Amino acid sequence: MITGAIAVMTSGGDSPGMNAAARAVVRTALYEGVKVFGIYNGYKGMLEDDIHELTSRSVSDLIQRGGTFLGTARCMEFKTVEGRRKGLDNLEKHGIEGLVIIGGDGSLTGGSMLSKEGGIPIVGLPGTIDNDVWGTDYTIGCDTAANTAVDAINKLRDTASAHRRIMIVEVMGHTSGWLAMTSGIASGAEYIIVPEVKYNIDEICEDIVESYAHGRRYTIIVVAEGACSGVGLKNVVQEKTKIDTRVSILGHIQRGGSPTLEDRIKASMLGERAALALISGVNDVVFGFDEGKVVSINLFDSVNNKKPLDPELVRLASVLV
Ligand code: ADP
């Protein structure tokens, strides 16, 4: 049971909805009569003592904003035992008794080490547009990012159709094809290429040439950056099909923007649960969603397992795409 103070931080890649989650953590803790500190700029800020007490006003006018007001960073020093010791000392200095970490796999792994080495209670929230945290079928920001990708693909389809082009759309996802798969299915892409599923570029190109011979006006290929570079794929497809091929790399616009309703609501629910759990003495858990309900996942299980791409999405794509 925590009666003094907790802290909240965001870490790793930012994702829309992190603000909503942090806001919920802050307001819930204050409602419960517990002080809240914000750790700015992820583990870097923890090591540099960039730690400040937050009020309810600190999180006003935030729920609709993308990014993270706490800032985020990547920190190599935190990967060392000495670095983490420095971070733990800073937490202790402020009387922080527990920590909510909002971030992806790497950030949650860092949190599991703080817990193991320092004994500080940790509650994690999955914040990443990749939707690749084990144990949860939702991560904060994935819905906004997928909607951004769908919106872009809709626009690219218009121009591809006007010129009878092949349009290759590279979306984020180094090891996870979730964003490519969902945005590809939802935008009616002709081909979706993800790291988890083998593909044959010769077959794809032959198929495209045949469809153009039968009057097709455009082809959309959605590719996850980890499966193949969009530019590399463009060169191969153009060469093999002899059809005008263009590439659009969506890049960082996928991380930004005002979070969708789903991201705001789910992030708020997760933030509230995280603060309540931490205050009541729960530790080493990640809160996520399973079939629409908030669930708790063991932190160590979550970081030690790799989430596979939902086979139902792969099956659906094989039928519809
Ligand atoms: P994400 O949380 O989005 O997966 P990263 O993998 O870059 O992003 O992790 C963010 C930060 O978490 C890193 O810069 C580092 O400080 C910390 N971190 C990541 N992996 C580890 C690890 N294995 N051990 C300790 N800290 C880690």
The token duo for 118 is: 């320092």
Q: 158 and 128 in one domain?
A: no
Contact partners, residue 150, CB within 8 Å, separation at least 6: 183, 186, 187
9 phi/psi in degrees, rounded to 5: -145, 160
Q: Is 220 part of a structural domain of the chain?
A: yes
The residue segments making up the domain with residue 9 are: 5-141+259-306
Residue 128 Cβ contacting ligand 1 at under 6 Å: yes
The token duo for 39 is: 């750790």
Is the pLDDT reported for residue 193 higher than 90? yes
Work out the average pLDDT over 18-44. Answer: 98
pLDDT in tens, 57-113: 999 999 999 999 999 999 999 999 999 999 999 999 999 999 999 999 999 999 999
State in Å: Cα 264 to ligand 1 middle: 24
Cα angle, residue 52 at apex, residues 16 and 277 outer, rounded to 5°: 65
Please tell me the predicted confidence (pLDDT) of residue 90. Answer: 98
**Atom 10 of ligand 1: nearest residue by CA position:** 12
Which atom of ligand 1 has the smallest separation from the CA of 13?
Answer: 3
Residue 191 Cβ contacting ligand 1 at under 6 Å: no
pLDDT in tens, 232-290: 999 999 999 999 999 999 999 999 999 999 999 999 999 999 999 999 999 999 999 99
Residue 105 Cβ contacting ligand 1 at under 6 Å: yes
Beta strands across the sheet bearing 191-193: 191-193, 219-224, 166-171, 245-249
At 75, which CATH number? 3.40.50.450
Q: 263 and 136 in one domain?
A: yes
158 phi/psi in degrees, rounded to 5: -55, -50
At 164, which CATH number? 3.40.50.460
Is 151 marked active-site?
no
State in Å: Cα 13 to ligand 1 middle: 9
Please tell me the predicted confidence (pLDDT) of residue 321. Answer: 86
Q: How many domains, the chain? A: 2
Residue 106 Cβ contacting ligand 1 at under 6 Å: yes
Q: How far is CA 279 from CA 4, 100, 107, 164, in A?
A: 9, 11, 21, 59
Whole-number Å distance between alpha carbons of 100 and 86: 18
State in Å: Cα 226 to ligand 1 middle: 19
Q: 166 and 45 in one domain?
A: no
Q: 28 and 128 in one domain?
A: yes
Contact partners, residue 242, CB within 8 Å, separation at least 6: 209
**Cα diameter, the chain:** 71
Q: Is 318 part of a structural domain of the chain?
A: no
Q: 175 and 88 in one domain?
A: no
Check if the beta carbon of residue 284 is closer than 8 Å to that of residue 273: no
Q: 237 and 136 in one domain?
A: no
- Coil, strand or helix at 123: strand
The token duo for 301 is: 């299980």
317 phi/psi in degrees, rounded to 5: -65, -35
Q: Is 315 part of a structural domain of the chain?
A: no
Q: 134 and 164 in one domain?
A: no
Say what the pTM is. 0.96
Q: 239 and 124 in one domain?
A: no
Q: 238 and 164 in one domain?
A: yes
